[in-house]
Chains A and B, each alone.
Chain A
Amino acid sequence: MEHIAIIGNGISGVTLARHIRKNSDKKITIISGETEYFFSRTALMYIYMGHMKFEHTQPYENWFWEKNRIELKQGFVKQVDTDTKTLHFAEGDTLQYDKLVIATGSKPNKFGWPGQDLEGVMGMYHKQDLENLEKYAPNKDVCKRAVIVGGGLIGIEMAEMLNSRGIPVTFLVREDSFWNGVLPSGESEMINRHIKNHHIDLRLSTNLKEIVSDADGKVKSIIIEETGEEIPCNVVGLTAGVAPNIDFLRESDIEIGRGVKVNRFLETNLPDIYAIGDCAEQHEAIGNRRPIEAVWYTGRMMGEVLAQTICGNKMEYKPGHWFNSAKFLDIEYQTYGWVFSDRNKSEFEAHFHWKHTDDTKCITVAYHKDTNTFLGINTFGIRMRHEVFDRWLTENRDVDYVMNHLAEANFDPEFYSKFETEILNAYTNQLQTI
């Protein structure tokens, strides 16, 4: 019986294992050094906030794995011997495989800041990071202030976490507006204001110079690059993006760049070895996507596809229309298709932007300014139907059609106020003034 070894028990590896099991009788082993069972990484924040306990973040009950004959192995892979198809563990034991899938996800970036390895400095990615945070920031008496470095999705989540325990937060963002490398300015600025409304000390255009240690090797303060200001704090969150977690492969024959290099079939340079999820790097980006996609959904999709290949139905990774979502404190965000930031958009991409007067809801619709083709939508505080936008994108609808049919895509709960008429009026007026 063929033995499939999967390194990593995140959404990619687990999706893969489930689909291989559905389609075959192969022996499957999932290896993880982080946790015994699969859990939803995106839910770590809710444990610290007290919304859930750790066991609630596990999508499958513990009996699930044995029932589906998916073996779980706890341990860190130290070295991969591709010639003998053997995994060597840090704990000293080994495991033979027939096919190997690398699904090890990411690790937080550290950019060589002085003091980045002090006690009380942490990312927010692994379960161990959460345990660390619980240790250094259990409450506002132990942690009098926390500083977060890096204005992305994990940064704002970490700010929300600390805020929930009443710990004052200073949030250093390199850009001149929150996440504006991705979000158009109207949206980004709305989120700036929302962050400040939560009494989070948001510092834009601000970089970290160094982290200062106290006598015991713990964080005492940080110093800001631009102003030299010293901010006393007990915890520093490093959330300046993530990078593939593949250091253990550096000595192996597997080709790596920033991530594990894969082709469209998610195959590496060596036969019988594949990579999926955050740690996989496409030789060439697919469409507007990045070569490395560190997103829950793409990890899952790669798992779904690779299972077909491994079970004998060779299949290319061809993701459909881009979509994503997030939540910024109290404001939900969804995106379908492509809406680029002011900095990154092409000259043909035009935007229509509408914002509610309450400053917590807005949408941005991107379209081709010559052909009027609908390119994508960002929505904040209004839920939209994935299926409808996916269909409109496939049908290459023009922007007028989308604006006139926006109500069909609304996914807000019943009895919520509807804004389609207001949005359409704003859209029509804007066209007249141009």
Chain B
Amino acid sequence: MSNKINHSMSLAQPDALNITNTQKIALAIGVVGLFILALALFNTNFPNKGLFLTLSLGAIFGGVILYSRSAYLTKLEGIKNDGVWFKSISSRGVLGWMLGVLLTTFYIVLYFFPTYLGLGTNGEANSGLIGFFDPLSQLLSGRDASQWFVYGVLYTVAILAFGYKFLLKYRHNRYQQLRTGSVMFFQLGFAFLIPEFMYVMNNDLPYYDLKSIWPLNYYIFDEWSVKGFLSTGNIGIALLLFGLLSIFVITPILTYKYGKRWYCSWVCGCGGLAETAGDSFRQLSSKKMYAWKIERWLIHTVLVFSIVMTVAMVYSYLGYEKNDFWLTRGVFISLVIGLLTVVFAAVMYFKRQELGKDAKMGAIGYAVVIALLLIMHYTGTTDHLFYIKAGALRSAYGLYIGSIFSGVIGTGFYPILGNRSWCRFGCPMAAILGFQQRLFSKFRITTNGGQCISCGNCSNSCEMGIDVRAYAQKGENIVRSSCVGCGICSAVCPRGVLKLENDSMKGRINPTEVLLGNDVDLMDLLNNK
């Protein structure tokens, strides 16, 4: 059965049918804003770049704001998902594919051919799109723009504008309001403005987005970065220490108390974009069993890769002699192996039962990492690790994971794979946080007794591809490493079945055979056997 409103071949009709005149005007305004950017890209010589840049970004903001107000404020508060599977753009239709290709192309050019965007090389001035952003960059930090500055501005504009849209869409839901306010704040402040101001204060500091934590921030321990920190005195050392604290202290504590959502859907920039600009695509993530199998392999492989890469990276610039610096190669390798062993042993000791068959996989993974590190230590030379040039691993990681996976596929494929495909299949940070969330956290999504009607709204709206319904209809709490705690499953549930909570560890995972509401004897018989 086809549920499409109409079966015409027209590209525009399915969407245009349902939008109001105000929305058409809003779209036009937004398109004008984008068109100015396109003109800049093709080296149009604007008389006053600052003015036109303001106009362009203003038009994009204005278009999204006007569109959203017309879409949501004209209706009563409530769930606003009407037609998402009919609209071409949000149901992998022609518009969806076109947008996907456009975004993917943009990322490829951004990462690999920034000169096409007008990046000046060899001391030349910027031109094109990047040159168009020079006035704003000059205003903020007194230097010319780079492709990363342009990307940062557009990224921030997207999160703020679509964040506003999301705020209107969920204006009845305080959790969604606060969460969205939070990602908008962290993007604008921490990812965008603060690094610019830090540069103004001390232009030797490496770019550091304070909320971006290793291993998501895979370059923080690169030689240039660490040297940058160490050479800028106390503030640099403080920042480096903060980076280490974030990994080993702040993250575990917050994840224990609140689950990985404190990061993934409240703070993180990737999450921020996914939750705002990507919100229209959340239903596209696959909930099939095979997708889950791919996910588990892929994300943990990336995690292993990122750990080994980072260790090798640091290892490559450490010395052999204690006299130069206390942290020698030998000490460093021993520390890493020690830490991994402590984590592994603790998990096996406390959580062996919960892991079941996965314990074997965990043990294999652990052995692989340790073996790799030992091989590296005993076969490595001054400039070769794993028999390849020391920097090669890092370059490969930066290229395949940092650029292609997180950017080109992760964001470019929003309209095809859903808005969290990077977070779900690739992010090593999400893997670590998820590992802890599954085993050592108070967070869960509680299922409300026997109230589930298996309608599937929760699963449909899960951007991480969790089949939420499979748990809810069994009366079982959802404790999954991949859950980012966005809370949309709970919001769209028509029967009030799901609630994100931090509660005690005891009874957190509660599989049931027979749901609440039935014969008490039967429930005792089956649920406690």
Contacts and interface: CB of A to CB of B under 8 A. Distances in A.
Interface of A: 11, 19, 22, 40, 42-43, 46-54, 56-59, 61, 63, 127, 130-131, 134, 138-139, 164-166, 197-198, 296-297, 300-301, 304-305, 308, 315-321, 323, 325-327, 329-330, 332, 334, 383-387, 390, 394, 411-417
Interface of B: 1-3, 5-6, 17-18, 76-79, 81-87, 172-175, 177-178, 283, 288-289, 446, 448-451, 453-457, 459-460, 469-470, 473, 487, 490-492, 494-496, 499-501, 513-523
Given A325-B495, A383-B448, A330 B516 contact: no
13 contacts: A40-B455, A50-B85, A51-B81, A56-B459, A57-B456, A139-B17, A319-B518, A330-B78, A332-B495, A385-B449, A390-B517, A411-B448, A416-B173
Contacts of A317: 519
Contacts of A58: 456
Given A49-B81, A416-B175, A383 B496 contact: yes
Nearest to A128: B1
Contacts of B515: 300-301, 304
A326 B519 CA distance: 23
B522 A411 contact: no
B453 A138 contact: no
A425 B457 CA distance: 36
Contact of A386 (B17, B175, B448): B448
Given A330-B76, A386-B448, A411 B6 contact: no
B389 to A, nearest CB: 46
B516 A320 contact: yes
Contacts of A305: 518-519, 522
Q: Closest 6 A-B residue pairs measured CB to CB? A: A386-B449, A330-B78, A383-B496, A43-B455, A50-B83, A415-B174
B456 A52 contact: yes
A72 to B, nearest CB: 18
Contacts, number: 187
Contacts of A164: 82-83
Contacts of A57: 455-456
A330 B81 CA distance: 12
Max chain B Cβ within 10 angstroms of own Cβ: one of A321, A385, A394: A385
A132 to B, nearest CB: 11
Given A49-B81, A385-B448, A416 B174 contact: yes
A46, A57, A166, A412 pick with most chain B CB within 10 angstroms:
A46
A386 B245 CA distance: 42
Nearest to A60: B470
B17 A390 contact: no
Given A138-B6, A329-B76, 8 more contacts: A43-B457, A56-B460, A127-B1, A164-B82, A304-B513, A320-B518, A323-B449, A384-B496
Given A327-B495, A330-B76, A390-B517, A42 B453 contact: yes
B454 A59 contact: yes
A413 B85 contact: no
A323 B454 CA distance: 16
A15 B473 CA distance: 11
B494 A332 contact: yes
Contact of A52 (B289, B457, B495, B517): B457
Contacts of A43: 453-457
Contact of A50 (B6, B84, B451, B470): B84
Contacts of A50: 3, 81-87
B83 A59 contact: no
A134 B178 CA distance: 39
B449 A387 contact: yes
A386 B447 CA distance: 9
A390 B517 CA distance: 8
A304 B83 contact: no
Given A297-B517, A305-B519, A332-B495, A413 B448 contact: no
B82 A413 contact: no
Nearest to A383: B496
Contacts of B522: 304-305, 308, 315, 318
A317 B514 CA distance: 13
A390 B173 CA distance: 27
Contact of A51 (B174, B457, B514, B521): B457
A421 B298 CA distance: 50
A59 B450 contact: no
A165 B83 CA distance: 8
Nearest to A59: B454
A334 B470 CA distance: 22
A198 B82 contact: no
A214 to B, nearest CB: 23
Contacts of B2: 134
Contacts of B84: 50-51
Contacts of A22: 513
Contact of A330 (B79, B446, B487): B79
Nearest to B83: A50
B520 A415 contact: no
A54 B4 CA distance: 12
